[in-house]
Amino acid sequence: MQKLLKIFVQKLPRDKNGDLIFDIDEARDLHNNAVKMLANAIGVDVLTTPTDVESFDVSDDNSSSSNDDLERVERTVYNAFGTPQSIFNADGNVALTNSILNDEAYVKTMVLQFSSFFDRLVRQKTKKGMKNKKYGFRFFMLETTQYNYKELAKMYKEQTQLGFSKCLPQIALGHSQSMIMNTIVFENDILNLPAIMIPPLMSSTMNIETIKEVGSKGTKLMDEGSGEAGRPEKPDSEKSDKTIANRESMG
């Protein structure tokens, strides 16, 4: 707080003999005028004096700590509340990403409430309208946003390889269930695309008999990789500040 406070000093002039030019009443008027002028200023005091005023700073000038007073004040406020400042004000290249994740975390509770409400309505409607109890329906909402739908679609695709739902990757990309089913029927039964569009042969999707048969015919197997060695490069949002600075210096 002391670093932020300021003192406005106005020195009264003297004549060649060292006597004040203004009398006490005039000096008081000058002081009051300065006080009124700075009445709306925050953290500013007024001092009117005929003597010389000097300020001495006893802090260590060779200290390597930050000199940003506002930053230290903000940090003190967060420490007083017992909340880490980085939760709400992250620094670096992932600051915007963390801010979006915080916003999504706040909205997630509302999404779960809507999902629970509509799920209860669906259960009531289907229970009354169906005579047999063999089937049941549930309603749930995927936590997809404009910022995370790519990651969710990729995650659902990886789960599909383990035998999980095949519709979730397409739903995460914004397609409806009816559109997914109609597209599959149209492409498979009507256009017969599986017989025309044959994907590249890969060792991960072929059994040993097929590999031997294809190898005897001299067909070259296509690998999933791109042929480049090493780990694939991370996106900029997942890189550290040091990595980005090194890449910029190399460029």
Torsion of CA 30, 32, 33, 37, to 10 degrees: 140
Within a domain: 155 = no
Whether 45 is in a domain gets the answer yes
pLDDT in tens, 67-85: 566 777 777 887 888 777 6
- Could you give the CA distance from residue 135 to residue 131 in angstroms, rounded to a whole number? 10
Q: Does residue 219 sit within a domain?
A: no
Residue 192 zone, left/alpha/beta (φ > 0; ψ -120 to 50; rest) = left
pLDDT at 117: 92
Q: Report yes or no on 115 lying in a domain.
A: no
Per-residue pLDDT of 140-192, as tens digits, reads 787 787 778 888 888 888 888 888 888 888 888 888 888 888 888 888 888 88
pLDDT of residue 61: 53
pLDDT of 14 above 80: yes
Read off the pLDDT of residues 113-150 as tens digits, 9 standing for 90 and up.
998 999 988 888 877 656 666 777 888 787 787 778 88
The tens digit of pLDDT for each residue in 196-225 reads 877 676 666 565 565 555 555 444 444 444
Q: Does residue 177 sit within a domain?
A: no
Domain membership of residue 9 as a residue range: 1-52
- Domain tally, the chain: 1
Q: Give the C-alpha separation, 126 to 246, whole Å.
A: 60
Q: Which of 200, 206, 204 lies closest to 220, judged by CA?
A: 200
Residue type, 203: S
- 203 is a domain residue: no
Domain membership of residue 22 (yes or no) is: yes
